[in-house]
Amino acid sequence: MFLLNRNALHGKPLDVTDAETLGITGADTVERFLAHRENHAMTPLHALPALASELGLGALHVKDEGFRLGLGSFKALGGAYAVFRLVLEQAGKRLGRSVDVSDLDRADVRSVAAKMTFACATDGNHGRSVAQGAELAGARAVIFVHAGVSDERISAIARYGAEMVRVDGNYDDSVRQAAEVAAQKGWTVVSDTSWPGYERIPGLVMQGYTAIVREALRQLSEPPTHVFVQAGVGGIAAAAAGHLAIVLGEARPIFTVVEPARAACIVAAAVAGRVVKAAHDQPTVMAMLECYEASQVAWRVLARAADAFMTVDEDDAIAVMRRLARPAGDDPVIVSGESGGVGLAGLIRALAANKTDLGLDGRSRVLVINTEGATDPHRYAELVGMSPADVLAGKLAAEATP
């Protein structure tokens, strides 16, 4: 499915609150927090000239989040950042003084954090970020996972000391249960989706993602003309589209949101003109995007800042994983998980069917985001036919060849 954005809000300025969240000042705050992370490093931006030539594009770049902060996903930027902000706010209230990120390791701040419990629902990556943030701050984390989350992903979260709670049903069911239990016990929910009355914390999570766009714009010699970003509940897509709209204004790129056909909650919102529950049947291989109801905050941004919405099929996502693992020409090897290359899958499909609608041609400079590496290595090997280690070993061998 492909839809141009016909919403009456399309092209209008962001809501004031969203503009504050996703604007320059918010991105500055994110960078200041990142500077205090021991393993922070700007993630690479890869040029894929061979694939760009094959697709008839002027340039194609992939912002690779596969190794972000040791978590293997862009989600490392959101949940942990929100946890730090919330701990520092609570510490400031309890201690009666201003506290900043540099105070996170102070004994009095950690004493406040030790009394806080953070809860969330996750498909895997967001939960790892919340759990890591809680561990680093000295707080407790309780992570709710639905029936479709693999044992490998659960183990990856639990290693950060989080308590794991398995929930029957899908992601949306785990969101509801996390919110209900947290309300009963007085815990703080750090969700990457929002609902009426619960918007500020998901906004902080989205604010964390602005670092990706800011880095990419610095790494590119020219701003992109087109951007394709995948969506689950819509957080990363909204953060990228919103920040680009604020920073570039009328020169912003044409922005397309890409979803699995089996879990297309943003497309459903685009059709209805509001957030609705998307119909679903079979699960999707794009496990990190398997969400059936869009975030209210994300949709509010995308209704204004996205230009098109589209879906891709299961085979599209798998084909991109394989292509990035076995690139043509001098293109670099990229390890991309089941959901990581969905933006690229959308670009390839759009070039085949909606090229004119989006103004894609030989002068187009396209940016996509590899949102995750092999966060489930076993599943990656099943789908790609090589382990992530072997894929990277091939890359290293190629780099070592004179």
Q: Give the active site residues.
A: 75, 123
Quickly tell me which residue has 């040791």 as its tokens.
70
Can you point out the beta strands (E) in 131-215?
Answer: 140-146, 163-167, 188-189
Collapsed DSSP state (helix, strand, coil) of residue 142: strand
> For residue 22, what are its two tokens?
């996703």
Question: For residue 100, what are its two tokens?
Answer: 């900043």
For 48-113, give the secondary structure using H, E and C.
Answer: CHHHHHHHCCCEEEEEECCCHHHCCEHHHHCHHHHHHHHHHHHHHHHHCCCCCHHHCCCHHHHHHH
Nearest-angstrom CA–CA distance, 146 and 171? 6
Closest by Cα among 200, 331, 217, 345 to 286? 345
Residue 247 backbone dihedrals phi, psi, to 5 degrees:
-75, -40
| Number of CB atoms found within 10 A of residue 348's CB | 18
